[in-house]
Structure 1
């Protein structure tokens, strides 16, 4: 019998939560740690800054493209089995990346295998958290811990990656990922059980999975191609939109025929969830876009090495940590809408500081205040955004909404690196200062869109704390 947690965290709850949080941490870490190793990797693999940008963006894109199918597979094959398969695929990809002789093999290991592994293992993390932590407060704590791990992973990726790359090699950063995956496997074997049996009879929409993945890949590839071939970029974008339209038309046709599509259109009829998805996409677009832009600017334009670049990002890590430590108290005292709107406002202020202070001083430490404020803002709003979306649907739809939620977040991450990175790289050699500022201005606009979406969420009051369970006789 699987124990579900509905009150204050116990040793059992912490044992369940630790491997889930670690899984989210390492996937977020993988999305940002390469940013500080751009020069080292480009030189070692005989490629360019743009080549490494493509590898990073494709990793985030593969996650986004296959996250919805990954969420659906959990119903058919079981949440824990999908988690384990995802961990295995991820570890193999990390080891291949560590031994990559060139950009092509790195893309196979990191962008494709690690991306697919992440798409398989992340939906079970959120589904298991939703199912195992049934009370409002305990579920908020669980999401708080997992999303804190996501924010910390993304924020500490540059620092840890820089330390490893400088002390050993950039290749050792992938070995580190494989070791953490091994630890997660050991921890999950002892503590995690699937609360519901798998249903092998559940239909899996292969055609829908292909259409949605191709559509997303074409759109992001079109953005990446913008600085080289505008006509090709436009063609890819149009093709991507057409594939996504084809996907939604096929979904409606399958629903009318009584078949189970990859994604139910009912998920898009919930206004609260839709607004929450917009905020999730904008948050990760801003975080990953800023991380890539600042890291690339410091290394390519100012000549900083991996460790120097990583140390600067400590400011963002501290901001995320402080916000995460206060997350539970904030959730009990403030409405989720208030936290999300405040988070976007603070994050925008952080990006504006990154634009303004870099002009005041040539020291990289001039970026620290902006990164700290940005980390604080991201940390404030990550958990309430996820909670808004996940809590809008019953357990029966958690597989679908978890996959959609993670797909939207990772699409934001890939778009952040693709859009802001493309604006920066397009003129990094000739006009680095101007393109740096322009890339960050694009992210400010995204932040304003997220702020407006957050302001339109319902102003629900924070839930009252749950009563403590009576002591056992």
Structure 2
């Protein structure tokens, strides 16, 4: 690609386009966490249980994860902008349906199914467009910093914004708020120009899409079933594992025969990208897991209302905001590997502080230091982790890797909520709270190990490298 092409692309990614992409990530992340402070209000209004609301939250994250790979593939067939707009429309319909939901079933249809499908359609184009429109290290670091920063803030500030709306108006108004934000995104996205033309002649692996989605759904739902029936959990996970094995075996056969599968297994031959995917998964697991754990404990055990719970989460929001705004500068000063390692270290220390202080004091503000550290840590490492993965592949594979990357991240969100929720629902006591956080901390250490294994030098595989060592 010539320097002129790169310059034209960078100019094409003007402010309104970046704002549309960042707001899209914000509202999808917001949707995954804002319901955490509405647990009591929704369960009372819809005559359901805390577990019922948890199922709705986790299913939303799960539907996103299960359909993100097919969603990324569809961008190659129908175009990035077209899929982005279609996803926004489906999401808005789901949000409005939630706003008038008479019961848990309609809430799950609107929130878990329609919003989940909409997100799976609109999120892959966000990262593909950011990668293609911002090809050099500095501009891409800025773009990913804004997008991931707003995404992290959406997840961290979801409890506060959701709490304010729920307390001031109603939990239903929070879904109207989401629909209004979608309308703003549609207006801002008018200036988006697709850098690559769609190719409708490319095949779509429908069987592969069904197998991958079914396998992921069975495994995560098995984790959710642990607090009710251990044998059901074992059965669902045992059923999901061979389905995923069948998917990968079939994919290998499709590639060997020259056909185009849903997901090219060559994506997994890149060691740097594989490690980056692990760090992404654990990052979102920590964010959503700690958010659900602290929010559920404060409401169910301590008896705080939505706004009181949301205000406490401002510490995490401020931490994420501060470190995300510094993403571009940090990318110039430090290698991506160093930033990811530092982020995990801060987040793990934050979890340890949450356990230590909450066990010794009753004042709710003792949660603030730990949440602040978690927010700072996640803000530091979210952007470089995405850059590590996206920059490891050439343009023609951006649709696939974007879908895989977002699927892995959303699986992390699903696992975080499912694991923490399962532990808490089994016994909402201080002991269960500590066990949930200790489990999340142990998984954070696993993410830290993966970050340590990342190569010290940048590794380019066709896409422009985006590591700090490449900085001028």
Instruction: Give the TM interval when normalised to the shorter protein.
Output: over 0.9
**1:88-139 deviation line (CA, Å, top 9, x unaligned):** 0000000001111111100000000000000000000000111111112111
Structure 2 CA distance, aligned partners of 1:96 and 1:173? Answer: 12
Structure 1, gaps ≥5 residues long: 467-473
Q: 1:373 Cα shift?
A: 0.6
Counterpart mapping for 1:303-452 below 5 A: 303-428=303-428, 432-452=429-449
Taking the aligned partners of 1:81 and 1:423, their CA distance within structure 2 comes to 41
Number of residues of Structure 1 aligned to a counterpart in Structure 2: 460
Contact 2:10/2:134, CA 8 A, preserved across alignment: no
Q: Which residue in the other structure is 2:142 paired with?
A: 141
Post-superposition offset of 1:465: 4.0
Question: Any idea what SS the aligned residue of 2:14 has?
Answer: helix
Q: Corresponding residue for 1:458?
A: 455
Question: In structure 2, how many angstroms separate the alpha carbons of the residues matched to 1:12 and 1:251?
Answer: 35
Residue 463 of structure 1, CA deviation: 3.5
Q: Which residue does 1:161 correspond to in 2?
A: 162
TM-score, normalised to structure 1, is 0.95
Deviation at 1:327, TM superposition (A): 1.3
Is the contact made by 1:4 and 1:132 (CA closer than 8 Å) also made in structure 2? no
Aligned to 1:181: 182
Residue by residue over 1:60-82, the C-alpha shift from the partner in whole angstroms, topping out at 9 and shown as x without a partner, is 00000000000000000010000
Corresponding position of 1:229: 229
Contact 2:21 2:126 in 1 (8 A): yes
Q: Deviations over 1:165-207 (max 9, x none)?
A: 0000000000000000000001101x21111111110100000
Give how far 1:7 is off: 9.7
Q: Any gaps of 5 or more consecutive residues in structure 2?
A: 458-466
Q: Is the 8 A contact 1:4 1:134 kept in 2?
A: no
How big is the alpha-carbon RMSD for the aligned residues of Structure 1 and Structure 2?
A: 1.4
Question: Is contact 1:7–1:137 with CA below 8 Å preserved after alignment?
Answer: no
Residue 257 of structure 1: aligned partner: 257
Distance change in 2, residues 1:334/1:179 (3 Å): same
CA contact (8 A) 1:4 1:133 kept: no
Cα distance in 2 for residues equivalent to 1:109 and 1:5: 41
1:22-64 per-residue CA deviation (whole Å, 9 max, x = no partner) reads: 0000000000000011000010011111110000000000000
Which residue pairs with 2:14 in the alignment?
A: 13
Whole-angstrom distance in 2 between the partners of 1:12 and 1:55? 36
Q: 1:47 is paired with a residue of what secondary structure? A: coil
CA contact (8 A) 1:263 1:400 kept: yes
Note if contact 1:38-1:49 (Cα within 8 Å) is conserved in structure 2. yes
Which position in structure 1 is the counterpart of 2:91? 90
Answer yes or no: is the 8 Å Cα contact 1:76–1:198 preserved in 2: yes
Contact 1:6 1:138 in 2 (8 A): no
Normalised by the length of structure 2, the TM-score is: 0.96
Q: Which moved more, 1:400-409 or 1:330-339?
A: 330-339
How many angstroms does 1:389 deviate by?
0.2
